[in-house]
Structure 1
Amino acid sequence: MACSSNTYRITIVGAGIIGLTTACTILKEYAANENLQLTILSEKFSPDTTGDISAGFWEPYGLNAVDERILRWAGYTYDIFLSEFFSTKAARAGIIKLPSYSLQGYNGQNIKDDETTKKPEFLKLVRHSHSLDQHELAMFDHLKPKSGFVMVSVAVEVRKYLPQLLRFLSEDSRVKFIKKKIHSLIELKDKADVVINCTGLASRDLVGDQTLRPARGQVLRVHAPWIKSVYTFDTEDGFGYVIPQGDTVVLGGTFQLNDWNTKPVASDTQKILRMCSKALPALEQIRHGKVQVGLRPYRDNGVRLEHEKTSIDMNVVHCYGHSGAGVTLSWGCAKDVVDIVKTLLPPKSKRQDNLLEHEKLWRLIPNFEYVVLKAKI
């Protein structure tokens, strides 16, 4: 494909976890291309994205199906996050490795008989997992689950992670940011050789995809420093979860399809506290917390990741519809998106280096606002 003035012009629309991981992957693959012009255009940037509200827990969640494609994306992303945890990035990027207990059924209810021993396919992707035996299930006897499993997973504090990606991207002179809302991708015609659509729920209007629907999520962030593991569980009120982050614990949640309300609902907050207190009774003491609401981009047909040659001769690569699994699939989807872009705009040979894979994707940039405290002896 011919490029204007021998310049590779790539525009990413959307600056959430999908858009920014895609941008970082582009910089990796086009490291030797000084003629790259990468534009990130978005109505919202961190801390105002849907991802900033999320608990950032790695697990394929809220999808209509977990197929081989989803597993491939999730596995690649898991490996990146885990390697970042064992690197200098962990603290500033908000990456935590922790055990996760998933409990199925409540008081012998809310579960089909054929699901009692069923292990999800994604367990084969993690470093360690096993089904809970009767002795382990007895720890949760107050819930009386019928089955469960534990795995080693990762929680990414997105409100810390996205700013670090942005800092890395902003250090590259080939990258520019535009804060703007567009109403049609046609507005970018002749302004980019390839447009990458990472707009999440906004794609419903932007490209007319009516299979996209909001899945409203309300969560409560509380101070509960004694909680060091993830817990997901069934209760008589529905499905709940408890997910620790750096200085807060996220209690959830709701998954309300076709609900566009972005304001907190008091009855939802009460329900969340009631469910989470069933699992961890000490949470009954919680009286205060920060209530947040986000709209997940649920798509009836699953994630859309494909190239489209539009009727007006635009090259668009779509990547949206991740529902509650945007963090979980992020780096894997970014890799596939950029593989498509490379067929349209072949990059120069990559510079050789001995960096670890996660360091090739992005690196910490010094932030002099951080204050180093020296211990008094």
Structure 2
Amino acid sequence: MSLRITVVGGGIIGLTTACTILKDYSSYPQLQLVIISERFSPDTTADVSAGYWEPYGLETIDERTLRWAGYTYDVFMSEFFSTKAARAGIMKVPAYTLYGYNGQNKGKNTLKPTFSTLVRHFRMLDECEMSIFDHLKPTSGFVMSTIAVEVRCYLHEVRRFLGQDPRVKFIHKRISSFQELTDQTDLIVNCTGLGARQLANDHTVRPARGQIIRVQAPWIKAVYNFDTDEGEGYIIPQMNCVVLGGTFQLNDWNTATVKSDTKKILRMCSKCLPALEQIHHGKVQVGLRPYRDDGVRLEHEKTSDGMDIVHCYGHSGSGVTLSWGCARDVVEIIKTLVPIVESEQSKSETGMPLHEQLWRLVEYKNTNHLRSKV
């Protein structure tokens, strides 16, 4: 049985979807899985992000969104407690979120966020813990255990895994219309993010410009989200740097760095952690988040010319947070179009941890061995 599936989009949504397809359709020896993208890592929007797990930049967080986020959280957390953590750039970190600044907005945001039941070690901050941040004078806050993913490392390892399977092919190419693929595939998965504005003719998709600074600040080991008199700031550690942010500028297509934004980010972050005032050098980056007015679009479309397209785009600033959960739902839709024929191979893998079923580390041929001096 042959099955040709084309995933359009090579970011975190496209590659996690490709992995899930490969897992669930492993019994198809004639599977042809093609991933087409104008950009692959390290040039995707996700590569700019801090890879922080928390639903962010979405107009509403409904039950479906929480299901996607919870599944993804569990995958990342299990990967942290596995051999994948170092090479895939997965860190488990405490995250503090502080509401209000200088005593303003008192009484607001005192309820637990809707995602609080999905994470480990969640608690609202008591008065003693709030006093630690007295220089900000927040009015309420919470702390939880979450995941920060070095997306550049993660996508590199996932792509290496996919590339080991002869049924998977990567094509570095820009397509202007899905009709270009009519005779080349049986089914299309649209993971084009902001590109869906043109490809899916969806003008509810628009950019939410994000500018960040990657700095060397090795003393920072926790995430901080906080309010200031200039807006919301965040500080997110990664394996080899710390991400300072940020901006969320709707309808701004500018991919060039803006000096005034850089200065503002540094001012905001220094209000939370004053030692950052000493930072004078960093890598400033810009990414355009794929914001969508109606939230994530994840559904099947049968076009007028008979093409089957499963859309999965509009994740805004939550691409990493929703990635594996959305990928699972995409494949559930595909199963209604192409039922799975189980094999002994697929059955034998069910005893493996879920994250290992989704993708595995591919060993480098040249391994460096530690040697002790005698």
TM-score relative to the length of structure 1: 0.96
Partner of 2:329: 336
Partner of 1:253: 246
What is the Cα deviation at residue 33 of structure 1? Answer: 1.1
Matched residues in 2 for 1:236 and 1:369: separation?
52
| Contact 1:42–1:181, Cα closer than 8 Å, also in 2 | yes
SS state at 1:352 partner: helix
What is the Cα deviation at residue 369 of structure 1? Answer: 5.2
Partner of 1:306: 299
| Contact 2:2–2:28, Cα closer than 8 Å, also in 1 | no
Partner of 2:192: 199
Q: What is the number of equivalent residue pairs in this alignment?
A: 370
1:351 aligns with 2:344: no
Q: Which moved more, 1:184-193 or 1:268-277?
A: 184-193
Matched residues in 1 for 2:129 and 2:318: separation?
28
Matched residues in 2 for 1:292 and 1:370: separation?
33
Cα gap change, 1:212 to 1:370, in 2 (>3 Å): farther
Q: What residue identity is the alignment partner of 1:161?
A: Y
Q: Percent identity?
A: 66
User: Which runs of 5 or more structure 1 residues have no equivalent in the other structure?
Assistant: 1-5
Matched residues in 2 for 1:28 and 1:107: separation?
51
Q: 1:106 aligns with which of 101, 106, 115?
A: 101
What is the Cα deviation at residue 217 of structure 1? Answer: 0.2
SS state at 2:347 partner: coil
Matched residues in 2 for 1:372 and 1:104: separation?
48
SS state at 1:172 partner: coil
Cα gap change, 1:276 to 1:210, in 2 (>3 Å): same
What is the Cα deviation at residue 370 of structure 1? Answer: 5.5
| Contact 1:127–1:152, Cα closer than 8 Å, also in 2 | yes
Partner of 2:256: 263
Matched residues in 1 for 2:90 and 2:183: separation?
39
Q: 1:316 aligns with which of 302, 309, 312?
A: 309
Cα gap change, 1:226 to 1:50, in 2 (>3 Å): same
What is the Cα deviation at residue 342 of structure 1? Answer: 1.1
Partner of 1:284: 277
Matched residues in 1 for 2:370 and 2:152: separation?
23
Q: What residue identity is the alignment partner of 1:54?
A: S
Partner of 2:236: 243
Matched residues in 1 for 2:130 and 2:216: separation?
27
| Contact 2:107–2:139, Cα closer than 8 Å, also in 1 | no
Q: 1:78 aligns with which of 65, 70, 73?
A: 73
Partner of 2:154: 161
What is the Cα deviation at residue 190 of structure 1? Answer: 2.1
User: Which runs of 5 or more structure 2 residues have no equivalent in the other structure?
Assistant: none
Q: 2:13 aligns with which of 12, 18, 22?
A: 18
Q: What residue identity is the alignment partner of 2:259?
A: A
SS state at 2:115 partner: helix
Q: RMSD value over aligned CA atoms?
A: 1.0
Q: What residue identity is the alignment partner of 2:243?
A: V
Partner of 2:265: 272
Matched residues in 1 for 2:22 and 2:7: separation?
12
Matched residues in 1 for 2:318 and 2:281: separation?
28
TM-score relative to the length of structure 2: 0.97
Cα gap change, 1:369 to 1:266, in 2 (>3 Å): farther
1:54 aligns with 2:49: yes
SS state at 2:260 partner: helix
Matched residues in 2 for 1:270 and 1:125: separation?
35
| Contact 2:106–2:139, Cα closer than 8 Å, also in 1 | no
1:307-360 per-residue CA deviation (whole Å, 9 max, x = no partner) reads 000000000000000000000000000000001011111121133222110000
Partner of 1:3: none
Report matched runs for 1:189-228 at 5 Å. 189-228=182-221
